[in-house]
Amino acid sequence: MLVTNIGRVTPIRKAERTRERLAEHALDLFETQGYEATTVAQIAAAAGVTEMTFFRHFRTKEAVVLTDPYDPVIAAGIRRRPLDEPPLHRAVRGLRETFAQLPEPDVDMVRRRVRLIARTPVLRAAVTRHNDVTESAIADALAGPEEDALAARVSAAVVLAALTVGLYAWAEHAEGSLGEFIERALAVLEPDHA
């Protein structure tokens, strides 16, 4: 029972390939025609597949572009900061340390995706919606026993906002690493940083 499905590699791979094909064609079409002008039917057709199949692989049209690989790690990084710092500083420094350890992404695809998002209002809004859960996680990580809940939520929101702006700016500018842009964005919140 435990090992039964080990050999069954191909069907899984097939689904993954379809998924990737969909994502690639989607990105291409979005970039050439614009996100809203592109129809799910078009993407599906380009990938040689039905509309239905598209929605089997991605719950929404947005989901083809939106992958948040970092979100889970962030809150953990913040918890590691000492509790005696004010919430905003804990958030900023926690984020900084987290991203310092993360590897730079495969610049090609990620940058195309982020740039598309940065230029498409609906997608930016979708990112915000996704960030809501991360924001809550950060706020929880910040909220000490007798801590000001409002301050925690503001700090969380503000740090994520800065991070997002840095990310978008990086995607547009083509010179400079993600790390640099994030660092510059966070520095605005903590100017007195050695």
Q: How far is the CB of 43 from a second copy (least distance, A)?
A: 22
User: What's the Cα-to-Cα distance from 6 to each of 2, 11, 15, 18, 95, rounded to whole Å?
Assistant: 9, 12, 16, 21, 39
101 part of the interface to DNA, by CB under 7 A: no
Candidate segments 6-14, 65-73, 140-148, 151-159, binder of DNA by CB under 7 A? 6-14
Structure tokens at 179: 């790390």
47-76 residues near DNA, rule: CB under 7 A: 48-53, 55-57, 59-62
Q: Determine contact, residues 42/77, Cβ cutoff 8 Å.
A: no
**Distance between alpha carbon 84 and the CA centroid of its chain, in Å?**
29
Nearer to DNA, 7 or 69 (CB): 7
Which residues lie near a second copy (CB under 8 A)? 86-88, 121-122, 124-126, 128-129, 132, 150-151, 153-155, 157-158, 160-162, 164-166, 169, 181, 184-185, 188-189, 191
Q: Determine contact, residues 169/178, Cβ cutoff 8 Å.
A: no
Candidate segments 37-45, 73-81, 93-101, 174-182, binder of DNA by CB under 7 A? 37-45
CA distance 124 to 143: 27
Amino acid present at 75:
A
Binding site for DNA (CB under 7 A): 4, 6-12, 14-15, 18, 38-41, 44, 48-53, 55-57, 59-62
